[in-house]
Chains A and B, each alone.
Chain A
Amino acid sequence: MPPLSLIPAKMLTQRTAPYLFLVPVLLFGLVFFALPLAASLYLSFTSWNSLVSPRWIGLANYEHLFTRDPLFLKTLLNTLVFTVGVVGIGVPASLLLAGVFSRSRYQALWRSIYSLPMVTNVVAVGFIWWFVLADPWGVLNRLLALIGIAGPAWLNDPSTAMIAVVMVFVWMHLGQNMLLFSAGLGAIDESLHEAARIDGASETRIFWSITLPLLRPTILFVLITSVITAISYFALILVLTEGGPVNSTNVTALYIYGMAFTDLRLGRASAAAYVLLVVIFLVSLLQLRVLRRGGVEAY
C-alpha cells in the first residue's frame, strides 16, 4: 500500500512547501482578522442597524463623528487622558516593583500576589472597588473621615471619576507588566552591574546608565502593549461607572460599544472603530520610531 499522503508529492516543492504549511495560520488570519476588518470597513460607509440590510451612505458616518457628534471628540480626549494616566503611572510603578522584588527573598510570593488581580474577573474587581470607593460609606472615605478628611464622591464626581478608574486599572494590570519587567531585569548580565560598581558608580547611576538602556526592548514592548490595551479598553469602566458621571469616563471604545449594541448604529460604530484603529496604529508607529534604537534593533 502506498504511503498515505493528503498532498500530492508534485505540490511539495521547496518553493511551495512553506506556504502550504502556513495555510492553517493564513486561513485563521483571513477568517478571524482580514475578513472582519474588511467587513467593518465596508460597514463604516453604510447605515446599518442589524435588522435590515446595510444602506451605502459614503463618508456620512465619518462626517457625523467629526462634525456633528457631540460626544465623539470628547471620548477621544477621555481616551487620551485614560491612556496617559494608566501608562504614565502603571509602567513606572510596575518597573519599580519589579526592581524591588528582584532583590527580595520572596520574589515568587510577591509576584504571585501582585499577579492575582490579573486573573480575577473584571466584574469582581469592579464590585470590590465599588465598595472601596463608594461615597459616603465606602472603605476609603470611611478611613479618610477618621482623620478628618471629607473624601470625594470618587465614582460620582466628574472631577474624580477618571482618577478613580485609572487607579483601579493600574492596580489591576500592575502584575502583568511587573512580570515582564522582572523577566527583562533577569536577562541583564549581572557582571555589567558589578563592573560599574567596581568603577565607583552609584546605584542611581547604574540604574540610569546600565539597567534602563539594557531594558529598552522590554520597555518598548510594555509601552506598546499598554498603550494599545488602554486605548481600546472599556470593560472595567463599563462595570465601575458606565462612562459617567456626565460622560467624564466615557472613553471611545465604550462609546463605540454603546453605539453598536445599545443604539444599534453598527455602521457609525464601525467608522468610529476605524478612527480608533488609525489612532492606535499612529501611536504605535510613533513609539516604535522613538524607542527603536536599543529597542527592537537590540533583539
Chain B
Amino acid sequence: MSPNPVGPLLKATFRLLSTSALAVACLGEPAWAQQKTITVATHYTDEQMRPLTACFRRYEAENPNIKIVHQQATFRDFLQTILTSRIGGRSPDIYNVYSIWGVQLVSNGVLAEPPADIVDFVRREYEARTVDAATVDGKIWGVPAEVSTYLLVYNKNLLREAGYSAPPRTWDELAAIAAKISKADAQGKLTVAGYAFGPTPANAVHPFRTLLFSRGRSLFTDDLRSTNLATPEAVEIVSKQAEIFRKNVTNSSIQVRDFPSGSVGMMITANWFKDTLRQGLGDKFESTVGVAPIPGGDDWRTYQYSFYYGVDARSPSKPEAWRLVRWLNTPSEPGKRSCVGDMLMTMGGLTANKADIAASQAEVNAPFTRPYMEAISSGRAISEKNVPQASEIEVTIRGAIEEAWLGRQDPQKALSAANAQIESILKEAR
C-alpha cells in the first residue's frame, strides 16, 4: 500500500504556521493584544445606560488601549450573577454595588480597596451622608453613584376630593386622611386604598425605617449585634400600620404600583419611582403627584441608600478600572455634569456628587425631585451602618411586618421573633 500523501502536506502546513506565528511574536504584539478589556457590571438596562455607553465609547477613543464592556443583570439577579461569574473566574472589573451588599463583598475580599486619590476624591466631591453608604468598617470602598431616599408621595386629586388641602404631617393624620380617601365596591372590596404598601422586602422595610428614624431609633443597635425591632417605638409603628389593614383602608392587593391608576391615595416611596409614575400618568403627572416629608412629626427623618462603583479585588486592571471610575464621575468641564451624573439625571435618579448637583439645577429643582434632594442635603436622609447578610435580614423583617399587617401575629410577638432571628444571623456572620 502506498504511503498516505496527506501526512507530509499536513506537516508542511504545520511548519509554515509555526514559523509565521513565531515571526509575528518576534515582531512585537499587535495593537489588539495590548488592549485591556474592562467589564462594568450594572443592573441598568441598555436604555438607561445609553448616556454612559456613549461615554464608554468616548473613553475608548481617548484611550485606544482600553475596551469597555457592559455586563447587565437585573437588580434581582445581580448579586448572584456577578458572584457566579466570579466562581467561574470571569469577574467583572467594576461593580455597581448596592450599599447593603457592601459588608458581604468586603468581608469576603471581593472588593478592592480604592487608592488614596480616589478616597480623597470621594471625600471632597460627595455629600457626607452618602459617603457613609459606601463605607464599611470606616473605609470607603467605592465612588457613590445613584442615591435613593424615601418620602411621602400622595395623589393631590384624591386628597382634595376627601377635603384635604395639605398632606399629613404625622401617621395619625395619615390614617385619618387615608380612611376618608379609601373606597370599597358593593361587595365591600377595596377599590381605592387610602395608603398603599409594596410587595418587596424593601417596600416594607424602608418605609418602616423612615418612621423608626423619625422616632429617634435606628434599625440596628450601636454594636450592630441586635436590632431595635422589639422596642415600643417599632411595635407602635407596625401596630398602627396593621390598624389601617384591619379597618380596610389598605390591603395587600392594592400596591404602590397601582398609584398611576388612581387607586392609591398615599405611599412612602423612593425617588426612583418617579419614572414609573411619569410613564403611568403621562401629562397628568404634575397635577396628580405631590411629595411631602415623612409623616413622622417635626423631627421626621428618612432612610437613604446608594449604589457605588467598586473594583474587583481580582481584577488584573485595577489601576485602569479606578481611573475609568474617576473619569466617569468627573465633569469634563466646569459647570457640566459627569457621565454618571448625566445618566442618573436622564433616568430621574439622584446623585450626591456636588458638581453634578450644581450642574443640574433644573432637574433637582423639579417639584417632584426637590423635596428628595432637600432631604439629602439637609441631613434628614440617614444611611445606617452596613451589616452582613443585609438582604436576608430585610426578608426576615418583611416577613414579621407582614404577619402583623395581615393580623396573623401580634406585632410585638412578630417583631421580637424577627429580632431573635436577626441576632442569630448577625452572630453567625461575625
A interface residues with partner B (beta carbon < 8 Å): 1, 49-52, 68, 70, 134-136, 141, 145, 148-150, 153, 156-158, 244-247, 258, 261-264
Instruction: Check B83–A156 contact: CB distance below 8 A.
Output: no
Instruction: Check B86–A150 contact: CB distance below 8 A.
Output: no
What's the least CB distance linking A40 to chain B, in Å? 15
Tell me the complex Cα distance, A8–B56, Å.
Answer: 59
Tell me the complex Cα distance, A279–B271, Å.
Answer: 47
What's the least CB distance linking B92 to chain A, in Å? 15
Nearest neighbor of A247 in chain B, beta-carbon distance: B399
Q: List 8 A-B pairs, minimum CB-CB distance, nearest first.
A: A150-B187, A51-B108, A135-B253, A156-B252, A263-B392, A261-B80, A153-B253, A156-B253
- 1/0 per residue, CB under 8 A from A, across B83-116: the answer is 1101100000000000000001000111000000
Supposing A136-B253, A246-B402 touch, asked if A52 and B108 sit within 8 A by C-beta, the answer is yes
Tell me the complex Cα distance, A263–B424, Å.
Answer: 14
- Does B190 interact with chain A (Cβ within 8 Å)? yes
Instruction: Check B252–A51 contact: CB distance below 8 A.
Output: no
Instruction: Check A245–B252 contact: CB distance below 8 A.
Output: yes
- Told that A136-B185, A150-B187, A263-B391 touch, could you supply 9 new A-B pairs with CB distance under 8 A? A51-B109, A52-B109, A135-B253, A136-B191, A145-B189, A148-B186, A148-B187, A149-B187, A157-B252
Tell me the complex Cα distance, A158–B199, Å.
Answer: 14
- Does B251 interact with chain A (Cβ within 8 Å)? yes
A-B contact pairs, 13 of them (CB 8 A): A50-B84, A51-B86, A51-B108, A68-B424, A136-B190, A145-B189, A156-B251, A156-B253, A158-B408, A258-B395, A262-B79, A262-B80, A264-B80
Instruction: Check A262–B392 contact: CB distance below 8 A.
Output: yes
What's the least CB distance linking B420 to chain A, in Å? 9
- Does B421 interact with chain A (Cβ within 8 Å)? yes
Nearest neighbor of B404 in chain A, beta-carbon distance: A246
Tell me the complex Cα distance, A202–B110, Å.
Answer: 73
Supposing A136-B185, A145-B187, A158-B406 touch, asked if A264 and B1 sit within 8 A by C-beta, the answer is no
**Residues from chain B with Cβ under 8 Å of A52 in the complex:** 108-109
**Residues from chain A with Cβ under 8 Å of B402 in the complex:** 244-246
Nearest neighbor of B403 in chain A, beta-carbon distance: A246
Supposing A1-B1, A246-B399, A246-B403 touch, asked if A264 and B190 sit within 8 A by C-beta, the answer is no
Which of A51, A70, A145 meets B421, CB within 8 Å?
A70
Tell me the complex Cα distance, A156–B190, Å.
Answer: 14
Which of B108, B189, B403 meets A136, CB within 8 Å?
B189
**Residues from chain A with Cβ under 8 Å of B186 in the complex:** 148
Instruction: Check A245–B187 contact: CB distance below 8 A.
Output: no
Tell me the complex Cα distance, A166–B87, Å.
Answer: 36
Which of A50, A141, A245, A262 meets B391, CB within 8 Å?
A262
Instruction: Check B408–A246 contact: CB distance below 8 A.
Output: yes
Tell me the complex Cα distance, A245–B407, Å.
Answer: 13
**Residues from chain B with Cβ under 8 Å of A70 in the complex:** 417, 421
Tell me the complex Cα distance, A115–B408, Å.
Answer: 40
Nearest neighbor of B402 in chain A, beta-carbon distance: A246
What's the least CB distance linking B16 to chain A, in Å? 28
What's the least CB distance linking B189 to chain A, in Å? 5
**Residues from chain A with Cβ under 8 Å of B424 in the complex:** 68
Instruction: Check A264–B253 contact: CB distance below 8 A.
Output: no
- Does B389 interact with chain A (Cβ within 8 Å)? yes
| Of B80, B109, B399, most A-chain CB atoms within 10 Å | B399
- Does B188 interact with chain A (Cβ within 8 Å)? yes
**Residues from chain B with Cβ under 8 Å of A49 in the complex:** 104, 108
